[in-house]
Amino acid sequence: MDMNDKPTENLSEEVTPSENQPASGTEQAAPQPGKEQRPQMPNTWAAAGPPPKEIRVGRVTLGLALIAVGILLLIGLFNPNFSIIAAAKCAPVILIFIGAEILITTFFAKGKKIKYDFLSMFVCFLLIAGSFVMAMIPAVYQNVVVRERVEERLSDQIEEDCYYAAESEGIAEVDCRIYLSAGLNDEIREDMTYSEVGNLLAGQYLTVRLDENFDTAEAFCQKARKVLDLLKPLDLPDADISIVQQNHEGYLDISAGYQWDFSADKLENLCSGWEGNSISAQWEEGSSEEIELSFDE
């Protein structure tokens, strides 16, 4: 028998591998009937490597801003003379720090992905704005609530002091309203007196009404001179004062400190309500004379 001849029974046992047959050493699950088979994606993780490291910009500035705001608030709590407004003017420094952080991170972050943390930046500005608003609440409270209480108390005190000081000259009523104007750094104390107002004074409206009427401005000014002499030692915050007679028809207005020293004769030039003695009457008299002269011409 020829050695090259192969037995026919062995030929039937050989299997020719197909193109779709998996390679040796692997197993393929049998396809399930009625289920769509998805193609397998190649695994590229090993070839591409891990993603680049990510660096967030803005967190350092947020931390520095929180530290700075906390320090300023502590200084403001223990030092009443510390100006919150002056500190608020330094807020643009935050933009400088954010820009510096961006430049430094861009220069040193080679091969790393930079991501801007806009949320941290927004929170940074929000916290700083809220901190300064909270710090200004005591100043606003002092310049609104406390100021109004002090104004009312000082007005009542001036009315009482003026009444009892000039009561012997026949005072029917004293009406006073005092107004203060304070900045955010000015201190308004609850127990301050009207002699301590100083530069905080914005205006004083003081009216003293006598308990009698006078036929002439001369008699009225003599009475007003005595009232001014009694009120002068009180050291009132402002020189403005009006003295009126009982029916409010005749009055004297003083608006400057040197006018408090006028004699009764000079005070007649400041009176109104009596014919021939008021400034308006003198002006009307002069106008009528000019009109007569114009008709004569």
Are residues 37 and 66 in contact, defined by beta-carbon separation less than 8 angstroms? no
User: Angle, nearest 10°, between helix axes 59-78 and 118-141?
Assistant: 10
DSSP class of residue 142 equals I
* Least confident window among 142-146, 164-168, 207-211: 142-146
Instruction: Sort strands 113-116 and 54-57 into parallel, antiparallel or unpaired.
Output: parallel
Lowest mean pLDDT among 4-13, 42-51, 105-114: 4-13
User: What separation in angstroms does the CA of 262 have from each of 73, 76, 173, 230, 266?
Assistant: 54, 49, 23, 14, 6
What is the pLDDT at residue 41?
56
At residue 292, the pLDDT reads 45
- Cα 104 to chain centroid distance, Å, stands at 35
DSSP code for 169? G
Mean pLDDT of 265-287: 65
Question: What does the CA dihedral 276, 280, 284, 289 come to, rounded to 10 degrees?
Answer: 60
In sequence order, the 6+-apart residues with CB closer than 8 A to the CB of 244 are 207, 208, 209, 210, 250, 251, 252
Q: Give pLDDT tens digits for 41-77.
A: 555 544 455 666 777 777 888 888 888 888 887 887 7
Q: Which of 240, 166, 252 is nearest to 214 (CA)?
A: 252
pLDDT tens sequence across 175-224: 999 888 877 667 788 888 887 887 888 888 899 999 999 988 999 999 99
More confidently predicted of 295 and 7: 7
Name the β-bridge partners of 254. 241
